[in-house]
């Protein structure tokens, strides 16, 4: 174990431990999250998803960053993507229950809105997860891969945030075989479907936080996929 591993563990504890030992801090978080949901989505994804990618970098390279990693631009990009993900979660968690209700599944929708865990809540949460990850996730994942490449090409510099992305070139040069065979074909049905089913079974104020935590898992999954390749 390197000294940096200890630093990383300390940072993770510093982020989460106060919420478990201070009811006042957790109450403040819930209130601020309810009033400023998009700001919190930006912060949660910007911090947690970037830490997940740093952990993935540690697994694949032995270090938490590389010369072209770009911690700051990645945090900004993840923050913006977090806002988009939060929006998608709102849209799908409202739209899919409305569709299920229109198809005669009103009892399932009532169970989904109720507190606690039930079979009906699971069914609706699974439907939301499958639809979101089937139609939204591939576009999101592809764009995220392109932004990573763009940041690396700019040497991990903050300048990457202000330079235009050559979308056409990146789309042509993207490794579509890996994107399909691993990212889409394996991670979406085997990880994201069940993971986001759990997400949508949680209370609304915890969904975005849990989704951001899944960003940590994403970094590990991508790192494992890279090592396997």
17-72 confidence digits (pLDDT tens)? 877 788 888 888 888 888 898 999 999 999 988 998 898 888 888 899 999 999 99
Cβ burial 15-53 (10 Å sphere, 16+ → b, else e): eeeeeeeeeeeeeebeeebeeebeebbbbbbbbbbbbbb
CA 109 to centroid of chain Cα atoms: 25
Give how far Cα 103 sits from Cα of 96, 109, 114, 197, Å: 11, 11, 20, 20
> What pLDDT sits at residue 32?
87
Q: Where are the domains of the chain?
A: 36-228
> What pLDDT sits at residue 169?
97
Q: What is the pLDDT of residues 113-167, one digit of tens each?
A: 998 889 999 999 999 999 999 999 999 999 999 999 999 999 999 999 999 999 9
> What pLDDT sits at residue 174?
94
228/213 Cα distance (integer angstroms)? 23
125/109 Cα distance (integer angstroms)? 10
Q: Which of 17-31, 51-65, 95-109, 192-206 has the lowest mean pLDDT?
A: 17-31
On the question of pLDDT at 73 being above 60, the answer is yes
Give how far Cα 128 sits from Cα of 3, 114, 171, Å: 42, 16, 28
227/59 Cα distance (integer angstroms)? 9
> What pLDDT sits at residue 190?
92
87/38 Cα distance (integer angstroms)? 8
Residue 98 pLDDT level (bands cut at 50, 70, 90): very high
On the question of pLDDT at 227 being above 60, the answer is no
- Residue 40's nearest CA partner among 25, 52, 30, 27 is 30
- Residue 160's nearest CA partner among 58, 69, 65 is 69
Residue 110 pLDDT level (bands cut at 50, 70, 90): very high
């Amino acid at each position: 174990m390197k000294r940096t591993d200890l630093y990383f563990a300390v940072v993770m504890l510093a982020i989460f431990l106060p919420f478990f030992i201070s009811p006042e801090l957790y109450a403040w978080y819930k209130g601020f999250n309810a009033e400023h949901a998009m700001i919190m989505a930006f912060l949660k994804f910007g911090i947690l998803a970037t830490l997940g990618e740093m952990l993935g970098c540690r697994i694949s390279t032995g270090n938490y960053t590389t010369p072209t990693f770009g911690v700051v631009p990645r945090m900004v990009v993840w923050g913006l993507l977090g806002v988009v993900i939060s929006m998608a979660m709102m849209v799908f968690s409202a739209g899919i229950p409305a569709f299920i209700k229109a198809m005669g599944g009103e009892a399932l929708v009532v169970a989904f809105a109720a507190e606690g865990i039930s079979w009906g809540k699971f069914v609706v949460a699974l439907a939301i997860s499958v639809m979101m990850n089937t139609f939204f996730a591939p576009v999101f994942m592809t764009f995220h891969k392109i932004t990573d490449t763009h940041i690396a090409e700019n040497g991990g510099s903050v300048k990457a945030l202000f330079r235009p992305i050559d979308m056409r070139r990146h789309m042509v040069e993207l490794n579509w075989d890996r994107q399909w065979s691993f990212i889409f074909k394996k991670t979406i049905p085997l990880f994201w479907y069940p993971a986001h089913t759990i997400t949508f079974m949680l209370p609304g104020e915890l969904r975005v936080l849990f989704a951001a935590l899944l960003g940590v898992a994403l970094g590990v999954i991508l790192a494992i996929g890279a090592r396997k390749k």
